């Protein structure tokens, strides 16, 4: 057990200290972390590895030198970014991020890197975590707040709408609270579920993250929900577990 813990500490510390730039180094460290996750004996150690692994995998996804899980799309006449995103089942935001934002004006013959595969979100109410899976495998994990008094519904849902800078309709009086208002509770992004009234959103109360303290939806830090918003297109499956 001591050897396993030492291995975890060495891998995590080395990754934080070295901050490798080359994708080959990143890929090698990712392989080490995946192997270590299967060997460590405690959940706390696995959590530390998942955090580091998620950071690496997000970095690789956005690195133009990394081609795994991506295709190269050549822009044809009449194509828009939205049309390309729909064709591949990704978000416009992810296309922009994977191509250094250099897609504001498309030109015929321009090439774009497009991530492929499926995205799935798994929310654990007991752990207050949101896990993103890509192509059935762990991609990254975030702390969240789930509903007080077990109010977050369990089961399988899909994302039906995505809104940036959303309006919040206050449940008590159904009054619309615009984004930016001091009483606004949805944060910067809203991902609606097929279960009406529920979804994933940011928050103006980051101190509640990691608790069962929401009204029933899944709260995230605003910087975290922005990443999930970019990863999860409409139609993404959401699984909520006890």
Q: Using an 8 Å Cβ cutoff, are 33 and 11 in contact?
A: yes
Query: Helix axis angle, 23-37 relative to 43-62, nearest 10°?
Result: 160
- Other beta carbons less than 10 A from residue 115's beta carbon: 22
Q: Using an 8 Å Cβ cutoff, are 61 and 98 in contact?
A: yes
Question: Is 140 a residue of the active site?
Answer: no
At 92, list the tokens.
């416009």
Tokens 């730039």 appear where?
A: 21
Strands, DSSP E only, in 75-185? 111-115, 119-124, 129-134, 137-143, 146-147, 155-164, 168-170, 175-177
From the list 140, 184, 189, 201, the catalytic residue is: 201
- Which of 218, 220, 177 has the alpha carbon at shortest distance from 197? 218
Q: Using an 8 Å Cβ cutoff, are 53 and 8 in contact?
A: no
Residues annotated as part of the active site: 201, 217
């Amino acid at each position: 057990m001591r050897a396993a813990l030492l291995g975890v500490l060495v891998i995590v510390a080395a990754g934080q200290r070295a901050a490798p730039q080359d994708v080959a180094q990143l890929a090698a460290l990712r392989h080490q972390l995946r192997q270590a996750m299967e060997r460590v004996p405690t959940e706390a150690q696995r959590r530390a590895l998942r955090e580091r692994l998620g950071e690496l995998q997000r970095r690789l996804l956005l690195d133009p030198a990394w081609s795994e899980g991506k295709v190269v799309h050549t822009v044809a006449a009449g194509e828009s970014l939205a049309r390309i995103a729909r064709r591949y089942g990704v978000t416009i935001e992810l296309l922009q991020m994977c191509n250094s934002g250099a897609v504001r004006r498309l030109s015929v013959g321009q090439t774009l890197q497009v991530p492929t595969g499926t995205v799935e979100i798994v929310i654990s109410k007991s752990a207050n975590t949101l896990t993103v899976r890509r192509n059935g495998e762990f991609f990254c994990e975030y702390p969240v707040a789930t509903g007080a008094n077990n109010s977050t519904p369990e089961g399988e849902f899909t994302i039906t709408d995505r809104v940036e800078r959303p309006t919040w309709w206050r449940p008590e009086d159904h009054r619309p609270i615009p984004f930016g208002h001091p009483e606004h509770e949805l944060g910067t992004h809203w991902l609606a579920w097929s279960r009406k009234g529920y979804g994933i959103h940011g928050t103006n109360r980051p101190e509640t993250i990691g608790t069962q303290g929401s009204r029933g939806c899944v709260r995230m830090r605003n910087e975290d929900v922005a990443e999930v918003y970019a990863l999860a297109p409409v139609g993404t499956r959401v699984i909520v577990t006890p």
